[in-house]
Amino acid sequence: MAETLDANPRQDGTAPKTAARSFEAVTIGVSTGGVHALQKLLGQLPATFPLPILIVQHISADADSGLAKLLDERCPLRVKEADEQDEIRPGTVYLAPPNYHLLVEREGFLSLSADPYVSFARPSVDVLFESAAAVFGRGLIGIVLTGANFDGSQGLKTIKRKGGVAIVQDPADAEARQMPQAAIAATGVDYVVALDGMAALLQKLAARRNTIPHDEKGRDD
Amino acid sequence: MKPDEVEDVEIRLLLEGVQRIYGYDFRDYADASIKRRLNHWLAESGFDTFSQAQSRLLRERSVFESLLRGITVNVTEMFRDPAFFRAVREQVVPFLKTYPFVKIWHAGCATGEEAYSMAILLNEEGMAGRYRMYATDINETVLQKASEGVMPITEMQRFTRNYQKAGGRASFADYYTARYDRAILSAALKKDIVFAPHNLAVDGEFGEMNLVLCRNVMIYFKPALKERCLRLFDSSLLAGGFLCLGLKESLERRKMGERYEELAAPLRIYRKRYG
């Protein structure tokens, strides 16, 4: 039933309300307070988490790859700094490298760009979110975490416009609340949650990949 | 049909048209970045859609030129990635000095910042007059700017910091004259550089190079075009010559990688083996 509906999207570009959703990827944007927040969130996801996770953490241009190594050591999932032409694999976390934007290509690869700063940042959350939304559409989960700027809000709006799901860290729970607040102000957010509940929520959403509980049908949109 | 699919089709048609009319082939550029750049151009062009732009774009060269500027400008800075330039100074130049004269190809030089950085470095190492650098780019507007060697004065603070971190031996201010809001680079830096148009998607190799520098250009290309570029660089390089790529570009997983040894591990400096 669900598959049939998924195979026949409406011609106006919106998703049918009752269609089951099968998520393909998670994107996360985070700035000030990010090292702590990412350790906490990724630390609670099991090695069996089935979706790829793409992350932009604002970082200074001349930083080394220390953050990816740190997260890789402390989290069950494999964490790596994104290399150009990396194939996007399930259950792997990709971190945007310092001084490059991270983008998603249609063929399921990652690409990098040295284009000018967007939203005063490189890597920019907006760039990742917008390119991921173009590829994954309603199969994308976008998350905005703690940060002291506005990057990510335009990108989250695009994710919503293309049918994806938007999750924002509860500003009261965030080390810096501006980025979550800007995201909430920019678009209709699906979930506003504290960091502690986020891993459980992601696992619940990801589990819909194969089995769609009857009572959850139609609640996505 | 998703709105994105319509736009993707429009972009494909537009690039096809551009290739047929003007001979510039962007069909092998990675989609995500070129789409961003095209959308940026579209937003400033006054057209609502790519279909709407197409008619004038294919008929009026000036419209095409504005598109070309929009999608081919690579931003760069002097001594971008100072650690890389330090490694060139300390680990590559000693080899270059053993030749009476060296030839360098800097592919995708954009507005020339890295070409001038290299010239400063080579001159400080006593190689002035002993090298020729061919600095090429697809975009003739940026080449014109590059050959003028004039930069916004506001950038000089950042460039000076980079220069110092890269192991600069003099005072960076010696290399330019400040005039109002601009910094005019010294003529001594220009005399060994030849700026010339070159299109990596269609043009051929530069023969017998001792060093090929192409940083953060191929990241915008699809795998097939990347391969083409690497073959071009490989056939341009003499044995014992150096290939310098961007910090996130690598010869790992590449067939030609076997013929190169990595000199400074994370900095993407490779040396072509003899034999």
Confidence band of A209 (pLDDT split at 50, 70, 90): low
- In angstroms, the separation between the Cα of residue B28 and the nearest Cα of chain A is 13
**E-only strand ranges, chain A:** 25-30, 53-57, 78-81, 92-95, 101-104, 110-113, 140-144, 165-169, 191-193
- The residues spanned by each domain of chain A are 22-214
> B248 and A11: CB-CB below 8 Å?
no
B4 contacts on A by Cβ (under 8 Å):
134, 137, 162
Mean pLDDT, rounded, for A173-191 = 97
Summarised one tens digit per residue, pLDDT across range B134-190 is 999 999 989 999 999 999 999 999 999 999 999 999 999 999 999 999 999 999 999
3-state class (DSSP) for residue A40: helix
Q: Which residue has the higher pLDDT, A211 or A176?
A: A176
CATH 3.40.50.150 domain position(s) in chain B: 82-272
How many CB atoms are closer than 10 A to CB A149? Answer: 17
* CATH class belonging to A22-214: alpha beta
Q: CA B118, CA B193: separation in Å to the nearest integer?
A: 10
Q: What is the pLDDT of residue A13?
A: 43
> B2 and A137: CB-CB below 8 Å?
yes
- In angstroms, the separation between the Cα of residue B205 and the nearest Cα of chain A is 24
Minimal Cβ distance to A111: which of B32, B74, B250: B32
Catalytic annotation, residues of A: 31, 58, 151
Q: What is the pLDDT of residue B230?
A: 96
Per CATH, which fold does B82-272 belong to? Rossmann fold (3.40.50)
ipTM: 0.91
Q: What is the pLDDT of residue B3?
A: 57
**pLDDT over threshold 80, residue A215:** no
Mean pLDDT, rounded, for A79-107 = 95
Mean pLDDT, rounded, for B4-21 = 93
Summarised one tens digit per residue, pLDDT across range B31-87 is 999 999 999 999 999 999 999 999 999 999 999 999 998 898 778 899 999 999 999
**pLDDT over threshold 70, residue A4:** no
Summarised one tens digit per residue, pLDDT across range B94-119 is 999 999 999 999 999 999 999 999 99
> B249 and A162: CB-CB below 8 Å?
no
Q: What is the pLDDT of residue B207?
A: 86
- Quick one: which of B35, B72, B91, B136 has its CA closest to B242? B91
- In angstroms, the separation between the Cα of residue B267 and the nearest Cα of chain A is 12
Q: How far is CA A62 from the centre of its chain?
A: 24
